[in-house]
Structure 1
């Protein structure tokens, strides 16, 4: 695996740490800005919305720029956003800071996945995406508690200064470790959009939304479920969430090994297992060992489907930056749908509601995968003749001399 792939993972770890910073410091941020906790929570929504809507726009703007230059520009925008967050005297400027960092983070995600595909051979792309996505898993495992500890000990603004410093380190590593490549966006914007006419691509994007939506419907409310239903002390929950994060790292590694050859089968199996774990959690949330086992299971087969999701999207569309960024937007929609609908489920049926909702979304995801899985099964283990070629604009570019 090229060294540059690991460098990209460090960048994503930095972006995810910033994304989760507000979630771990809601009360201090709300107090510091003189707003309610619910208003502070809208900063998380603003970040996600900027990722989903602003990320693709920023990707198009940078599509004709060499990727190394584009990444450095994104680090600059991202760093400026975090500095603004650390200095924000009021809620309006903090909101602007989250929008800026959210758009930069999503564009960075899409470009990083595209570069991972570009820097590696086709037969190991799934593994490369898994390495890059380890930045996301480690951000959940380490970045969230790290920013929370720093913010609680030294003040919430210090957490954003720490992320800014981490972004500077990642930018230096990128400048040193990433090779110089030609820009991948020689196509006109209209030509880049042509790929979105493919039904198979939209089906793959829908699957990704449902995979993430099912997981985040539950993940968003793990803490109240574990304390109010399962009966764990509040001080125990962070340890359980660390165990969940460790499970995502393990699951991401396994899925990355399988995604290149069995992307659709892995997605079908992962969704089926997730539905089982979510259902089990809902049924036995009041039984400590079973609840923890179900939660760890969700960690193993939830967001860890990312490498298989990316491989399927590449085969249905291409591995270009715009496709990857739009894919990231659909993943973000899954986060927004899962967390928002999970809250509605709590209002309707109580704290077990998000778990039942997650199981339903996982079953919906299976419905989007099953037709392709059956078609591939009928045609044998070879590539699906109906699938579009995987040639992407970025694969036609050559390294700069």
Structure 2
């Protein structure tokens, strides 16, 4: 009688790569309207400002859904949950591609926001369950690289597809990508039973724990400052640095590539010391953004500052996640959900604060305000409680 060969346990690096594909897909889906606002507004007969709500709505819904979904998911297997969330993301993108009116498009973007918040909250804490402990830091960096790579490849690819075949084709492509990632998750992830029954009250109470609270404040300050400045980086480069419009895309690509490198460098450093890593990143961002109006007066100088900016900000997500996991090792999903909620809320707040400041005092003031936010984050880290690696 022949013995049946033992089945190989799923998981490991193929599963980590699939989860990275999920983070890439949700961030690409979130940011897709950035390069498509003009054709969307023309096709649906709305202003570009109204079309811009497709981005705002998604970020706000993700900020709310990230901390609230984890208690709702209860003890559902996280493998099943991730697959369901990718299916929801696919449905949102495909509905967006079909949308006959702005109201339908906004509804589709609500679905994308729910999918995005849920995927980020669940995926961010999975690295340690998919690979051995010694590889958890590298796996976390790979999962978060999906965010950085989406800004370099995902959004420009969507804009390019929109130019070739129309904005609806770009959303349809994002829907198809969501289904492919769903299949990859189903094939590579092992069963991932819930680590505990998390209640909403417990999630909110966790936010009051000193080390968790410090991490959330740092995330709020750094991300708000970054997006206040980065939202207006184009006018800054054109007005202060004299960069030609045709060179803007190249400089932003360089910035994005630096961000990918910063993500992996910070992941390795944060495994040793999340606090020191975040201190360095916050301080570097503060100095770099403050120097843009002073030293970034030529295209070459601006490019150099953008590289440093990209390296520093590219490491923020993975370093902050390392802090949150170290601050609440027994409540990893709840901490990740809070992290994702605050991060997405800070994106919306940063764009709002940057716009108000730019209108009131100009783009130079935006850069200095952003630097002050980053410096505030470094100050909080300097005086606040510490976490063990």
Q: What interval of TM-score do these two structures reach, taking the shorter chain for normalisation?
A: over 0.9
Deviates more, 1:345-354 or 1:19-28: 345-354
What CA distance in whole angstroms lies between the structure 2 residues aligned with 1:38 and 1:191?
38
Deviates more, 1:35-44 or 1:187-196: 187-196
After TM superposition, list the pairs within 5 Å mapping 1:1-400 onto structure 2.
2-318=13-329, 319-372=331-384
Q: With structure 1 as the length reference, what TM-score do the two structures score?
A: 0.90
C-alpha contact 2:229 2:366 (8 A) present in aligned 1 = yes
> Considering only aligned residues, what root-mean-square deviation do their CA atoms show, in Å?
1.8
Question: What per-residue deviation string (whole Å, max 9, x for no partner) do you get for residues 28-86 of structure 1?
Answer: 11111110011111111101101101232233222321011001110111111111111
Shift of 1:168: 1.0
Question: What per-residue deviation string (whole Å, max 9, x for no partner) do you get for residues 64-122 of structure 1?
Answer: 21011001110111111111111111111111111110111111011011111332344
C-alpha contact 1:342 1:353 (8 A) present in aligned 2 = no
Structure 1 portions without partners, runs of 5+: 377-382, 385-389, 391-401
SS in 2 for 1:182: coil
Distance change in 2, residues 1:276/1:194 (3 Å) = closer
- In structure 2, the partner of 1:396 is none
What CA distance in whole angstroms lies between the structure 1 residues aligned with 2:228 and 2:202?
36
C-alpha contact 1:55 1:102 (8 A) present in aligned 2 = no
Distance change in 2, residues 1:64/1:355 (3 Å) = same
SS in 1 for 2:315: helix
What CA distance in whole angstroms lies between the structure 2 residues aligned with 1:191 and 1:221?
38
What CA distance in whole angstroms lies between the structure 1 residues aligned with 2:336 and 2:275?
18
Deviates more, 1:149-158 or 1:126-135: 126-135
C-alpha contact 1:124 1:260 (8 A) present in aligned 2 = no
Question: What per-residue deviation string (whole Å, max 9, x for no partner) do you get for residues 114-163 of structure 1?
Answer: 11133234454332221101000110000010000001111000000000
C-alpha contact 1:63 1:321 (8 A) present in aligned 2 = no
Q: With structure 2 as the length reference, what TM-score do the two structures score?
A: 0.92
Counting matched residue pairs gives: 377
Distance change in 2, residues 1:131/1:91 (3 Å) = same
What CA distance in whole angstroms lies between the structure 1 residues aligned with 2:239 and 2:266?
33
What CA distance in whole angstroms lies between the structure 2 residues aligned with 1:303 and 1:217?
16
Question: What per-residue deviation string (whole Å, max 9, x for no partner) do you get for residues 218-242 of structure 1?
Answer: 2111122222332222221111111
Structure 2 portions without partners, runs of 5+: 1-11
What CA distance in whole angstroms lies between the structure 2 residues aligned with 1:285 and 1:190?
47
